């Protein structure tokens, strides 16, 4: 597969700047896919937080870049501009007080994917270092902008590197099952689990991808299927409850999924339903791979039991309320390390026990 096929995929998130220094955030509005590919644009950090909460922007690595971009929009478009007028030194404490508040609000937009807080805190740390060096708020805003652009480049590089490590684990003409969307749309570009698939496909090594539809929001049906079709990788969409039958018929050679947070012991949080797929894979003797960048590993959290699990609106499960019926809608579950064959990052493929 020629790399030119990747021109068919948009960059998922991108921080941009006009000639006048005004910063903007361009993102694929994933709520509209697969019907419409629309690149939305905003200069308002609050709109980015809203896009994150409503899943217009989603997927752990994309959230890392988007959260950092939100802070940068504030710094470039609101924080640095009026503060400069009053003189940088006396205004710096107010800049930092506001930056800290915004960082917390952005980081709290969704709790499970650690990349969101990782991106935000990375920018906060940089702002402190630059301030200690005597930088003005507008210099700090410029530094944040440059850092987000670095994060965007690093994200694609990490995905391409982990793609190579992961592809080496797959048999030739592999039939791969994946859950949710851990594709280019979940990252700045290229994808994690689908980055593995794309790298293997480029060598002619993929026979077919089975995409779980992924109830309740349908990231598999709407996003993974769209991406694979766009790139030209053969794809069969299945309902989540069909995976067991597919495995029982020996139609799956490997499962490859992404991750939202990996604890120090290798336990991994990913989209709800992933744990069930891992149990099925173990039962059928199928390797189960988790592909994620290092930024998804949270070594401060000892086990998966410590990972906060987001619970979302019941309306995602039950569109019209029924009297007397409650809904439980956790967005993620935790797959114990013992069910994971290898964790694949940009550094290589590891046994989950080697994460710490």
Ligand X SMILES: CSC[C@@H](O)[C@@H](O)C(=O)COP(=O)(O)O
Indicate whether 176 belongs to the interface with ligand X (CB under 6 A). no
Q: How far is the CB of 21 from ligand X (least distance, A)?
A: 31
Identity of the residue, 10 or 21, whose beta carbon is nearer to ligand X in the bound complex: 10
Q: Which of 67, 111, 195, 258 binds ligand X (CB under 6 A)?
A: 258
Instruction: Please give the residue whose beta carbon sits closest to ligand X in the complex.
Output: 258
How many Cβ atoms sit within 10 Å of the Cβ of residue 243? 23
User: What's the CA angle centered on 250, arms 191 and 166, to 5 degrees?
Assistant: 25
CA R_g for the chain = 21
| Nearest residue (CB) to ligand X, 111 versus 137 | 111
Of 76-84, 137-145, 160-168, 258-266, the window that binds ligand X (rule: CB under 6 A) is 258-266
Task: Report d(CA 178, CA 289) in Å as an integer.
Answer: 10
Decide: is 182 part of the binding site for ligand X (CB under 6 A). yes
The sign of the torsion formed by the CA atoms of 38, 240, 270, 253 equals: negative
Tokens of 280: 């099925």
**Which residue in the block uniquely carries the two structure tokens 């930024």?**
295
Tell me if 59 is assigned to a ligand binding site. Answer: yes
Q: Which is nearer to ligand X, 37 or 135 (CB)?
A: 37
Q: Which two tokens stand for residue 25?
A: 């955030």
Dist. CA 21–CA 14, nearest whole Å: 16
Query: Residue 219 interacts with ligand X (CB under 6 A)?
Result: yes
Q: How many residues does the chain have?
A: 356
At residue 269, the 3 state secondary structure works out as strand
Distance CA 283, CA 289 (A): 15
Whether 143 has a binding-site annotation, put simply, is no
Q: Can residue 65 be called a binding residue for ligand X (CB under 6 A)?
A: no
Residue 58 found at the interface with ligand X (CB under 6 A): yes
Does residue 335 bind ligand X (CB under 6 A)?
no
Tokens of 179: 């859950």
Residue 261 touching ligand X (CB under 6 A): no
Give the tokens for residue 305. 């039991």
Residue 298 is among the residues annotated as catalytic for this protein: no
The residue among 182 and 200 lying less far from ligand X, judged by its C-beta, is: 182
30 is in an annotated binding site: no
Of 155, 260, 298, 333, which residue is the catalytic one? 260
* Residue 270, marked binder: yes
**Binding residues for ligand X (CB under 6 A):** 58-61, 180, 182, 186, 192, 219, 257-260, 270-271, 331
Q: Would you name the residues annotated as active-site residues? A: 260
């Amino acid at each position: 597969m020629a790399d030119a096929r990747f021109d068919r995929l948009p960059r998922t998130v991108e921080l941009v700047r006009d000639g006048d220094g005004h910063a903007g955030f361009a993102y694929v509005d994933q709520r509209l896919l697969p019907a419409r590919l629309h690149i939305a644009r905003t200069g308002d950090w609050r709109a980015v937080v809203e896009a994150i909460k409503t899943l217009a922007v989603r997927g752990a690595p994309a959230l890392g870049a988007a959260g950092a971009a939100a802070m940068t929009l504030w710094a470039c478009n609101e924080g640095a501009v009026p503060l400069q007028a009053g003189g940088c030194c006396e205004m710096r404490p107010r800049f930092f007080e506001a930056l800290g508040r915004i960082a917390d609000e952005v980081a709290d937009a969704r709790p499970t994917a650690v990349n969101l807080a990782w991106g935000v805190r990375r920018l906060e740390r940089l702002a402190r270092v630059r301030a200690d060096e005597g930088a003005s708020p507008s210099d700090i805003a410029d530094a944040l902008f440059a850092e987000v652009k670095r994060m965007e480049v690093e994200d694609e590089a990490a995905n391409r590197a982990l793609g190579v490590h992961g592809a080496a684990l797959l048999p030739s003409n592999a039939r791969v099952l994946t859950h949710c969307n851990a594709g280019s749309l979940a990252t700045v570009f290229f994808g994690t689990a689908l980055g593995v698939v794309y790298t293997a496909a480029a060598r002619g090594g993929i026979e077919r991808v089975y995409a779980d539809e992924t109830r309740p929001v349908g990231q598999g049906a709407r996003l993974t299927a769209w991406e694979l079709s766009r790139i030209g990788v053969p794809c069969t969409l299945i309902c989540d409850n069909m995976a067991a039958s597919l495995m029982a018929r020996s139609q799956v050679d490997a499962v490859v999924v992404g991750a939202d947070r990996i604890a120090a012991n290798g336990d991994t949080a990913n989209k709800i339903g992933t744990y069930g797929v891992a149990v099925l894979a173990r039962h059928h003797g199928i390797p189960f791979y988790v592909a994620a960048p290092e930024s998804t590993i949270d070594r401060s959290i000892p086990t998966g039991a410590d990972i906060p699990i987001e619970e979302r609106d019941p309306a995602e499960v039950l569109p019209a309320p029924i009297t007397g019926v409650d809904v439980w809608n956790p967005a993620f579950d935790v797959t114990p390390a013992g069910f994971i064959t290898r964790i694949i990052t940009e550094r290589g493929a590891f046994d989950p026990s080697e994460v710490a």
